[in-house]
Amino acid sequence: MSGEIRFQSRDGLNLYAKSYGPVDAELTVLCLHGLTRNHKDFEPLIEKLSPNHRYIGLDVRGRGQSERDPNSSNYRLDIYTQDIQELLKVLTYKKLVLIGTSMGGLLSLILSQILSEELVGVVLNDVGPKLEKIGLDRIAGYVGSFIEHDSWEDAALAVQKSQISAFPDFKFEDWLAFAKRTHRKLENGKIVLDYDPAIAESLKNIQIDVSAEMQTWALFAATYKRPLLVIRGEISDLFSSDTAAKMVHRHGRATIVTVPNTGHAPILDEPICVKSIEKFLRKLED
């Protein structure tokens, strides 16, 4: 069972989320996507997980079916967090789990500090308190580069060009599916990326220095009181193995899963991810 959730932000934007599974489930899993993605990013995973859980996929403002913000300076983590809090106000749930990919993982760290006992577990997908500059530079190289494509096949080839280093084992059908999750068709038939190109400006606000890193590690400390699953792509250029190991050590009870020959960020439908996430969720139901 699935359904649309439409709600408003504090500053009046119309935002969108999609619900999958029974609304009275014991566990509600809130899925938070990365910088240029949308709720569809999690559909390959949701299709393979237990239908007994409820999953909520959010389109952060400026992405997917959520309204574009006329003020691009609002494309930042604190505003996104406020939007998520507004979404939670319209949801009914018993236990809440966060699955955050990349930017969504950073949002999960912030929410870990804000939410109380209703948040029972967190999954971080290829992200941590320290981000590698080489990965950020690569992402900055393609974010906001809008090209109109004449066909889904052309869009798939464009995605392949920008993401091949992260997914060297993908076949063309994988790239086509990737394109359909990240693009939309305009009324004129052209196919474009499904986000506001103005979000590229937000990358300029990311600081990589000792002070910023210390602040993010302090945020990470909020996860200590909850079960944590850390997923890392083996060849990720944004999230290092050293940072992942440090997170697990500091948390004390966290589990790390490495996805072979995959970069930033795993789709999460990989068998090792599905198995690990399902096991994690089942434990949280008890």
CA angle 263, 268, 269 (to 5 degrees): 115
Average pLDDT, the chain: 94
Residue with tokens 């997980």: 49
- C-alpha 53/C-alpha 34 separation (Å) is 22
* Per-residue pLDDT tens over the stretch 27-83: 999 999 999 999 999 999 999 999 999 999 999 999 999 999 999 999 999 999 999
Residue with tokens 């006329």: 70
Query: pLDDT tens track of the chain, all 286 residues?
Result: 569 999 999 999 999 999 999 999 999 999 999 999 999 999 999 999 999 999 999 999 999 999 999 999 999 999 999 999 999 999 999 999 999 999 999 999 999 999 988 999 999 999 999 999 999 888 888 786 788 999 999 999 999 999 999 999 999 999 999 999 999 999 999 999 999 999 987 776 665 666 778 889 999 999 999 999 999 999 999 999 999 999 999 999 999 999 999 999 999 999 999 999 999 999 998 7
Do residues 17 and 55 lie in contact, with contact meaning Cβ atoms separated by under 8 Å? no
Q: What is the pLDDT of residue 210?
A: 67
Burial group, residue 142, by CB count within 10 angstroms (0-12, 13-18, 19+): middle
Using CA atoms in the order 186, 187, 190, 191, what is the torsion angle rounded to 10 degrees? Answer: 20
- The Cβ of residue 83 has, within 10 Å, a number of other Cβ atoms equal to 24
- The Cβ of residue 145 has, within 10 Å, a number of other Cβ atoms equal to 11
Q: What is the bridge-based pairing of β-strands 255-259 and 191-193?
A: unpaired
Q: What is the pLDDT of residue 145?
A: 75
Domains of the chain and any CATH numbers? 2-132+207-285 (3.40.50.1820)
Q: What is the pLDDT of residue 285?
A: 86
Q: What is the pLDDT of residue 2?
A: 67
- C-alpha 86/C-alpha 161 separation (Å) is 37
Q: What is the pLDDT of residue 127?
A: 98
Q: What is the bridge-based pairing of β-strands 2-8 and 14-20?
A: antiparallel
- C-alpha 188/C-alpha 2 separation (Å) is 29
- 253: which DSSP letter? S
